[in-house]
Amino acid sequence: MQITNKFTLTLPARSSNESFARACISAFATQLDPTIEEISDIKTAVSEAVTNCIVHAYKEQVLGKIYITAFLQDNNSIKIKIRDKGCGIANIEQAMEPLYTSVGGERAGLGFAVMESFMDSVKVSSVVGKGTTITMTKKISPRISVNG
């Protein structure tokens, strides 16, 4: 598979950057001519991963950095890596279970479930004390050209 385009973005882990990250990925993914639903799926998955960096990795305190890299590939797919240098995840399997959350109250524990349902693949690698990387891909369905 060939990479046809790429961008990288480093952001401070501020909640105001959640919408900024979504807007960037959405503008980039537009090059694959996705449907409104596909764009919305990608934005939502990115929002989940970025929010997790802010809420969990850096505990809404340390203004750590979020590293986003996105690739367009020649099979009309997008690959997105979202990395933090925060606390890491001790038990990835448990973290990915629907409804599991380590912070009670107002969190549903559905972030990973949303990423898995809206993207084709989601990979999580994490080292406690070092950080977490989420790698997600989604293939954009080819559309029949109106012009023939």
Partner 1 sequence: MSVQINVTGEVVTAYLGGELDHHTAKEMREAIDSAVELNMPTLLILDFKDVTFMDSSGIGLVMGRYRNLLKTGAELHIMGAPPQIYKMLKLAGIERLAKLESR
Ligand X SMILES: Nc1ncnc2c1ncn2[C@@H]1O[C@H](COP(=O)(O)OP(=O)(O)OP(=O)(O)O)[C@@H](O)[C@H]1O
- Rounded Cα distance between 9 and 63, Å, is 16
Please, what is the Cα angle at 66 between 62 and 69, to 5 degrees? 175
- Rounded Cα distance between 97 and 40, Å, is 23
Please, what is the Cα angle at 58 between 41 and 12, to 5 degrees? 70
Query: Which listed option, ligand X, partner 1, Mg ion, none, makes contact with residue 86 (CB within 5 to 8 Å by class)?
Result: ligand X
Annotated catalytic residue 48: yes
Query: Which listed option, ligand X, Mg ion, partner 1, none, makes contact with residue 56 (CB within 5 to 8 Å by class)?
Result: ligand X
Q: State the binding string over 101-130 for partner 1 (x if CB under 8 A, else -).
A: ----xxxx-xx-xx--x-------------
Q: State the binding string over 32-71 for Mg ion (x if CB under 5 A, else -).
A: --------------------x-------------------
- Contacting range for partner 1; rule: CB under 8 A; set: 42-50, 74-82, 88-96, 134-142: 42-50
132 counts as binding ligand X under rule CB under 6 A: yes
Shortest Å, Cβ 39 to ligand X: 20
- How buried is residue 136: exposed, middle or buried, by Cβ count under 10 Å (0-12/13-18/19+)? buried
- CA 59 from chain centre, in angstroms, equals 18
Q: Which residues bind Mg ion (CB under 5 A)?
A: 52, 111
